[in-house]
Amino acid sequence: MKSGRKQVKRMTGAMRIIHWANAISMVAAVITGLYIGHPYYQTLIADGAVDKYVMAWNRWGHFIVAIIFDVTSIVVAYLYFFSRFEKPYKKLIPNGKNVTEFGEVLLNLVTLNRRKKFDSTHSDSFNTVYFAIFHLLLVWMLFTGLQLYVHGLESGESSIGAWWPAMLHLVTDWTIPITGGSLMDVRISHHVTMWLIVTWVAFHIYYQIWRTIFWKEGDIAIVFGGSKFAKEQES
Amino acid sequence: MAERIDGVRKLFTSKSARVDTNRGDLYYQQLFDTCRARLDALREQPAVNRLDFDSLLTDEGQDRREFMKWVSAVTAMLMLPPMFTPLVAEAAELMNRLPVVWLELQDCAGNSEALLRSDGPKIDEIVLDIISLEFHESLMAPSGHQAEKQLEDAMEHFKGNYLLFVEGSIPVGAGRDWCTIGASGETFLDHLNRVAENAAAVVAVGACATFGGIPAAAPNPTGAVGVMDVVKGKPVINIPACPANPANMVGVVLHYALTGQVPELDSLLRPKFAFGYRIHDNCERRAHFDAGEYVEEWGDEGAKNNFCLYKMGCKGPMTFNNCSIVRYNEGVNWPIGVGRGCIGCSEPDFWDKYAYERPMANANIKAPTGGVEKTVDQFGLGLLTAAGIGIGIHAVASAVAGKREEGGEG
Ligand code: SF4
Ligand code: SF4
């Protein structure tokens, strides 16, 4: 540890598990989702259908990671407000302090760290807003995905009871008129949102690495060990 | 936008898309009693034509056994338990008490054709023969003023009792004044509204009458819309598809004869007995879909083996209809059965959003922002590239700036 720096705990064990569960799920969801949209690899065409379930396995994988995603989204939504550790929603309130901080972090990014007038010890409002956008995109994926899915439970029955499809209809049917009136619109929106998320991820990874290099506070370690380092306050 | 808000409101107030095939004994007992009373009342009514179902059946060389087989199939199609079979048979026989008026607007007459054309009269047709078709522009003998007179008479005589079938879309935009009917030059819009006024219920048949269909496809030069966007204050039943399946028309009419009510509808006003399921869920090629075995090219090995048509652009996974169960042309076959993907003809905006006969991922879909034709994947990749370039510039700038700083320090 460099002198003059103190270790700050930034992510609890649970938060790190959620982070990596999300990251792995996302990679799996994108790969299987691209296959579902356009089955790009083929099976040996002459075999019987009995012993290979290529599309079915892709859909299986897609749905399993989607469910993991959905459940972690609920946990994250809870943590937003009730975490005993950090309550992200406090950074989302557009009050003067947060708006200024948001601007400062953005300026820090575009001036390439020439100007840094905010406390980077804890999550700043820029990053919190950025993550909030991500979570909104995920929630949208959740609703549109479940809408596309529920129609496979054709008769209103499912292995866990009739309540499940009934609830899915109740909770996700509104996505049809919102996206343009047909299931195809829901599908397109689900697909476009995937690209938005992939783009989000690209910037996310870049930004975390950039901060690690330029701030010299070990930000990338947050997601592995749970803590980063902050300069001791000069007194 | 207002339309969408309206759609959302409707959605939350309408029953969910769930199909309930078993509602319990009590429900069916009550329904049975209602139907019994309804049929008795119908029997009391004078027949509106002299056709007699039984003799028609014999004339066409169909026997009673054949008819009963058909009746049990229809009972099942309407999602009613077997105890309703005798009632359905009775309803078919009493069909000559039901006056029907049929209007053709912006259409190709494909639905009328579907109803009429077949290799030999089958029971569906006999049933439809016997309903009293009081007015149908393409089928009736009178023309001009005489035809108009017939319509006026039917509207007057059966006020509040007739079923109005509508085929074709209604131009309400620029085309409103181009499309007129009869010697008086009444617009389609006024004509429909006037005839619908006295109808018991309005049945929109085919893709055009339900959701605007091909006339409403972009750029929709006439400003075509479906019946449900025009007719207010009347029950509207949508039987989309291009053409609507005669089996579903018969189903709706029978249901109406039987119960005096419109069947249970989904949020797009389609009867759930016909549109409660996706094509995909009852498709004979479904095993190949799950196996990942697709036709890759017309006439390839996969096509010869009846593999799934998903990669050839089949829209079965998001299309609701019972074609995969009841099929077309007397149940002989259906599009996927002949080796051709579903083009989603029973869905709203099918021509713009479904009918591209290419694999979904290769299709030129209208971007949600409107206007520009661009595929979603191209858009996504473009966005990702833009982000990548942005990141790259920032990274290079950062690296350069970082060096400079270090240089300055050192
Ligand atoms: S042919 Fe179409 S409807 Fe049939 S399984 Fe394949 S995708 Fe589904
Ligand atoms: S298979 Fe699809 S395109 Fe063909 S009639 Fe049925 S719904 Fe229409």
Q: What is the pLDDT of residues B157-213, one digit of tens each?
A: 899 989 999 999 999 998 899 899 888 889 999 999 999 999 999 999 999 999 999
Q: How far is the CA of B279 from the centre of ligand 1 (A)?
A: 7
- Strand A227-231, strand B132-136: pairing: unpaired
Task: Please tell me if the CB atom of residue B321 comes closer than 6 angstroms to any atom of ligand 2.
Answer: yes
Interchain CB distance below 8 Å, B384 and A214 = no
Which chain A residues are Cβ-neighbours of B348 within 8 angstroms? 181-182
Q: What is the pLDDT of residues B354-390, one digit of tens each?
A: 877 766 666 665 554 444 445 566 776 777 888 788 8
Indicate if the pLDDT at residue B346 is higher than 90: yes
Instruction: From B321, B324, B350, give the residue whose CB has the most ligand 2 atoms within 8 Å, as the site to mutate.
Output: B321
Task: Supply the pLDDT for residue B209.
Answer: 96
Report residue B241 as tokens: 């598809």
- SS3 string of B175-213? HHHCCEECCCCEEHHHHHHHHHHCCCEEEEEHHHHHHCC
Task: Please tell me if the CB atom of residue B241 comes closer than 6 angstroms to any atom of ligand 2.
Answer: yes
Which chain B residues are Cβ-neighbours of A42 within 8 angstroms? 292, 294, 296
Q: Please tell me the residue having the least CA distance from ligand 2 atom 1.
A: B342
- C-alpha triplet A152, A156, A162: angle, nearest 5°: 120
Interchain CB distance below 8 Å, B354 and A184 = yes
Indicate if the pLDDT at residue B409 is higher than 50: no
Task: Supply the pLDDT for residue B166.
Answer: 95
Task: Supply the pLDDT for residue B408.
Answer: 44
Percentage of residues of chain B with pLDDT beyond 70: 86
- DSSP one-letter code for B132: E
Which chain A residues are Cβ-neighbours of B347 within 8 angstroms? 182-184
Mean pLDDT of chain B: 84
Interchain CB distance below 8 Å, A37 and B353 = no
Which ligand is closest in space to the CA of residue B311? 1
Task: Supply the pLDDT for residue B38.
Answer: 92
- DSSP one-letter code for A229: E
How close does chain A come to B89, measured CA to CA in Å? 26
Q: How far is the CA of B13 from the centre of ligand 1 (A)?
A: 32
Task: Supply the pLDDT for residue B195.
Answer: 95
* B6 → chain A, closest CA residue: A177
Which ligand is closest in space to the CA of residue B244? 2
Peptide bond into B219 cis (omega under 30): yes
Instruction: From B239, B242, B322, give the residue whose CB has the most ligand 2 atoms within 8 Å, as the site to mutate.
Output: B242
How close does chain B come to A13, measured CA to CA in Å? 30
Please provide the DSSP assignment of B224-254 as one string.
EE-GGGT--SS-EEEE-SSSPPHHHHHHHHH
Interchain CB distance below 8 Å, B344 and A184 = yes
Task: Supply the pLDDT for residue A92.
Answer: 85
Interchain CB distance below 8 Å, B402 and A213 = yes
Once rounded to an integer, what is the mean pLDDT over residues B124-151?
80
Strand partners, B187: B180
Flag the least confident range among B160-174, B281-295, B320-334, B345-359: B345-359
Which chain A residues are Cβ-neighbours of B8 within 8 angstroms? 174, 177-178
Flag the least confident range among A122-136, B7-21, B27-41, B72-86: B7-21
Task: Supply the pLDDT for residue B10.
Answer: 64
Per residue in A51-83, is it b (16+ CB within 10 Å) or e — as a string?
ebbbbeebbebbbebbebbbebbeebeebbeee
Confidence of residue B97 (pLDDT cuts 50, 70, 90): confident
Once rounded to an integer, what is the mean pLDDT over residues B90-99?
88
How close does chain B come to A14, measured CA to CA in Å? 30
Which chain B residues are Cβ-neighbours of A178 within 8 angstroms? 4, 8
Confidence of residue B125 (pLDDT cuts 50, 70, 90): confident
Task: Supply the pLDDT for residue B319.
Answer: 92
Q: Which of B11, B201, B165, B86 is nearest to A182 (CA)?
A: B11
Confidence of residue B37 (pLDDT cuts 50, 70, 90): very high
Once rounded to an integer, what is the mean pLDDT over residues B12-22?
64
Nearest-atom index, ligand 1, CA of B294: 6
Task: Supply the pLDDT for residue B107.
Answer: 93
Q: What is the pLDDT of residues B75-92, one digit of tens each?
A: 988 889 999 999 999 998
249-308 of B, contacting A, C-beta below 8 A = 267, 276-278, 281, 287-294, 296, 301-302, 305, 307
Q: How far is the CA of B325 from the centre of ligand 1 (A)?
A: 13
CA distance B263 to B250: 12
Q: How far is the CA of B27 from the centre of ligand 2 (A)?
A: 33
0.90 exceeded by pTM = no
Task: Supply the pLDDT for residue B199.
Answer: 94
ipTM of this model?
Answer: 0.86
Task: Please tell me if the CB atom of residue B323 comes closer than 6 angstroms to any atom of ligand 2.
Answer: yes
CA distance A92 to B153: 69
CA distance A142 to B8: 18
Which chain A residues are Cβ-neighbours of B281 within 8 angstroms? 152, 154
CA distance B67 to B88: 11
Report in angstroms the alpha-carbon separations of B136 from B150, B239, B284: 10, 18, 37
* A189 → chain B, closest CA residue: B368
In sign, the C-alpha dihedral spanning A142, A148, A149, A153 is positive
Least CB–CB distance from A165: residue in B18, B289, B290: B18
Which chain B residues are Cβ-neighbours of A154 within 8 angstroms? 19, 276-278, 281
B315 touching chain A per CB within 8 A: yes
Residues of chain A with confidence (pLDDT) below 50: 1-2, 234-235
* A171 → chain B, closest CA residue: B12
Residues contacting ligand 1 via CB (< 6 Å):
B 279-280, 283, 285-286, 289, 308-310, 314, 316-317, 336, 341-342
348-407 of B, contacting A, C-beta below 8 A = 348-349, 353-354, 359-362, 365, 368, 376-377, 379-381, 383-384, 387-388, 390-391, 394-395, 397-398, 401-402
Number of cross-chain residue pairs from A and B with Cβ atoms under 8 Å apart? 168
